[in-house]
Structure 1
């Protein structure tokens, strides 16, 4: 009879562990059902059961479950770390992209300002004009009521003096303009960072005056002779004025044409740089938007993964709680038989021994560290 009891107890010794495993698997269906489809959970549980069928003892099955839970938790922890690293890398990448974007935006603004400078300087060159001197002798002589030069001023010396005065006024008139124009042209080229230099040639194409009358005498006795020489002096001044004006104007226009050509080349180059910078800016802005969307998706995945990981941390505790519960139930059942009034001493001894056996089992598997 004792032999039969021992045999039966030996057969029932591990039943509380199998009951705990079944209970744990049932809890997994509820535990994970909120995250996965039921079929997926059943596949996972059945896969776990398939792995356990190859394990010979109940204790080994429990330890195998704990190892599997530990591996799953470790893998999810690694996945979390990988996602957090990916998130950090992407955030750092966006920060770097933002710095590049800011630099590109500043570059586009700077290039736009440079283009405006070239356009402004081109218009400024058009506004630089050389004013022509107006030759006149009338303000140098005194006229009578008949609008004729008074007799006392009808002299060669007076006429030549006035000629030289007007000639000096003409040269001074152009010199003042040229000084101002030289500053404008030089400053304009400096504004576009050009190395072009502007210097006026001063080999003036002026001719001397050659009077027709008044040989030997300073005084014109005939009004007609004075008026003829007067016109010769005026014509000479106007001819020299035309020559000097054209001489300087041609130099100014040649420099303006060359400067505009250089400005257009620089403008085209800067405009191409601006176009490329704007293309890069748009491309980088699009990439930044895509990265921001990826970060939002990754944040969502990371949040859900953290929640799952935190919930999965409860699974080992759940297993230990179930083991304790089934252990207490099994021991309580045998203790009832141990302390039953009709139990024999041999039965009490057998129940006591097997209570000690499953106590040792419980000590080995409940709260046990993973392999």
Structure 2
């Protein structure tokens, strides 16, 4: 049996993530953990309460809360109220906490939006993925492009002024022109935030198996690069800041504060099956089975699948990997100041992959394309 993660009060502001593992059906590209029955919701809520109690003294307070999934908006209104009540029972949240809920367009109703507003939710991330019905069918999404438009309008009408959209590009057979038309469609609705993800396929998904069987093909590397750079240029020209590899915001205050914790190496606690946590010293992750998760907590044990203590060297390398994914980059003093590192830095700046300003080294859009490789160049 896994031993509990050692409780220790964490002084820095942390984020709280809740994995809501329920979906009406599985999207054809998704490998996040979820179940397609709502029958175990009560058991899941009981598990969340037990897990929250286990960690209630670990963090001083949270300034972000993120309900992800799965499909949080699939929960009944009374279950959403129970969930937020549990979290506020065991944890403290700052007065200005960012509270985000992921939403599916076909779940949006006026009653749901009123409930979210009353519960203090102040940010909605709408899983649009595409406005093209054929693309939505390929992805296994249940909503139509028109439903996505109506859902966004309803969210706006309900008074939410911090709304993000998720979009997916690089679908089999999709041209850059078609993708840029999707972006233009999204921009006409004027969301505060856009997350643009290139389609990546796992062999454990229906589309992943189609890829393995040769029925569909991944984009060529140069095509991927072109999609990425044109996405960045298009959205920057429309007033969005490309602040992380896949993320764009109308202004700095509209960045996803919760997700920035992952990229800035700030502590976060994840509750629910499959959720991950990090406390600046170690990382741990939960069982990817709702049944096993609930059973472990019922037996009085934390539902850990594993944990990892991180060395100073590991933490430093992760800081570089994460920092080179963001527009803010990393302080120059984080890098080795020896002649080899200076030579690498000068070459990457000359090649247009990195830029140095105000004492920080950050990737250009071209550098973001190869962000995962940049730290390795300094570690020779």
Give TM class, smaller chain: under 0.3
Q: Please identify which structure carries the higher helix content.
A: 1
Q: Please identify which structure carries the higher strand content.
A: 2
User: Higher relative CO (CA 8 A, sep ≥ 6), structure 1 or 2?
Assistant: 1
TM-score with structure 2 length normalisation? 0.15
Structure (1 or 2) with the larger CA radius of gyration: 1
